[in-house]
Amino acid sequence: MVTSHPEPRIALVTGAAGTMGKAAVAALLKDGVHVVMADLDEKALDRARVDISASCPSIDVGRKTHLSPFDVSNREACRDAVRRATDAVGSINILVNNAGILTNNKALETSQTEWRTVFAVNLDGAFFLSQAVLTSMREKRWGRIINTCSYAAKSGGLTAGTAYSVSKAALVGLTFSLAAETTKDNITVNGIAPAYVRTPMVTEQLTDEQRKRVEEGIPVGRFCEPEEFGHVVSFLASPLAGFITGEIIDQNGGLQFD
Ligand SMILES: NC(=O)c1ccc[n+]([C@@H]2O[C@H](COP(=O)([O-])OP(=O)(O)OC[C@H]3O[C@@H](n4cnc5c(N)ncnc54)[C@H](O)[C@@H]3O)[C@@H](O)[C@H]2O)c1
C-alpha cells in the first residue's frame, strides 16, 4: 500500500541559490512543500527567493520558505542547520543534496587541495546531511533523499575534471548504500544524473562557438532546462514514487542509453 506522506512536507534543498537549486525549490513549492533553502551565503539566498517569487506569483514564497546559510562541507554546520530548521519549521522529510562545485582539471593537473575541496562539497556534504536527517525520517517512517549526481560519473567527464567526475561517481555509490540501508524504513534514496543543464556552470565556461558545438553533440539538440530538472526532483519526492529507490535517473538528452 502507498504510504501517505507526513504533513507538513518539509524539504531542505542545498545549493538553493544556484540555478538548478532554485528550479528544485520552485517545483517543490508548487507541490505544496515547505522548503528550507540552504546555501553558503544569506545574500545569495535572499536574491534567490526574490527570483523564485517572480517565477511563482501565486505562491507566498516568503511564508513557504526558510533561509539557511551554511557550508555543507562542515559536519557540525550540517547538524546545526538541520536542528535549527527543525526547530523553526519542523522535521525535514525531503532532503535534496544539490550543492556542488565544478572544476575542470584532469588527473595530472589536479592538486590535493582541489581533490579534497571538491569531495568535501560534492560528497561529504550529502553524507553529513543524510546522517543529520535519517534518525527523524526513520522515526516518522517516511523520507526522500535526492542526490544531484551527474552524467560525468558515467562518461568520466566530457569537459568536467577528474575530481568532479569521481566525486559524482562516489555520490552514486552513497545513493546505493543509503538506499540499501533504508528500504525497511519507508525512505527512498535516489539520484538524478543530468548533463548540460542550461546554467552558468555550463554556459559561462563556453564560447558561443563551443556552446553551439556542445548543443549539436547532444542528441536531442539542446541543453536541459532547469525546470526539467526541478520536475524530476518533484517526481522523486512525490508519494507515488515510493517504490523507486537506489535509482539514478539519467537526464542526458540521449547522450547514453542504458
Ligand atoms: N549545470 C549542469 O549542467 C550540471 C550537470 C550535472 C550536474 N550538475 C550538478 O547540479 C548541481 C547544481 O548545479 P548548478 O549548475 O545549479 O550550479 P550553481 O553553481 O548555480 O549552484 C550550486 C550552488 O551550490 C552552492 N554551494 C557551493 N559550495 C557550497 C557549500 N560548501 N555549501 C553550501 N552551498 C554550496 C553554491 O553557492 C551555488 O549556489 C551541482 O551539484 C552540480 O554539480 C550540474
CA distance 32 to 205: 35
151 is catalytic: no
Q: Is 30 among the domain residues?
A: yes
Q: Is 76 among the domain residues?
A: yes
- Per-residue pLDDT tens digits for 156-204: 998 899 999 999 999 999 999 999 999 999 999 999 999 999 998 777 7
Query: Is the distance from the beta carbon of residue 101 to the nearest atom of ligand 1 less than 6 Å?
Result: yes
Q: How many CB atoms lie within 10 A of CB 115?
A: 18
pLDDT at 140: 97
Q: Is 192 among the domain residues?
A: yes
- Per-residue pLDDT tens digits for 214-241: 899 999 999 999 999 999 999 999 999 9
- Ligand 1 atom with minimal separation from the 72 CA: 32
| CA-closest residue to ligand 1 atom 34 | 39
- Per-residue pLDDT tens digits for 47-102: 999 999 999 999 999 999 999 999 999 999 999 999 999 999 999 999 999 999 99
Task: Give the confidence band of 7 by pLDDT, cuts at 50, 70, 90.
Answer: confident
CA distance 95 to 121: 16
Q: What are phi and psi of 70, to 5 degrees?
A: -165, 170
Q: Is 254 among the domain residues?
A: no
Residue 227: domain span: 10-249
Number of domains in the chain: 1
CATH of the domain at 24: 3.40.50.720
Q: Is 2 among the domain residues?
A: no
Q: Is 63 among the domain residues?
A: yes
Q: Is 258 among the domain residues?
A: no
Burial 198-233 (b: 16+ CB within 10 A, else e): bbebbbeeeeeeebeebbeebeeeebbebbbbbbbb
Query: Is the distance from the beta carbon of residue 206 to the nearest atom of ligand 1 less than 6 Å?
Result: no
Q: Is 3 among the domain residues?
A: no
Q: Exactly one of 70, 164, 223, 229 is catalytic; which is it? A: 164
CA distance 233 to 103: 24
Query: Is the distance from the beta carbon of residue 100 to the nearest atom of ligand 1 less than 6 Å?
Result: yes
pLDDT at 2: 75
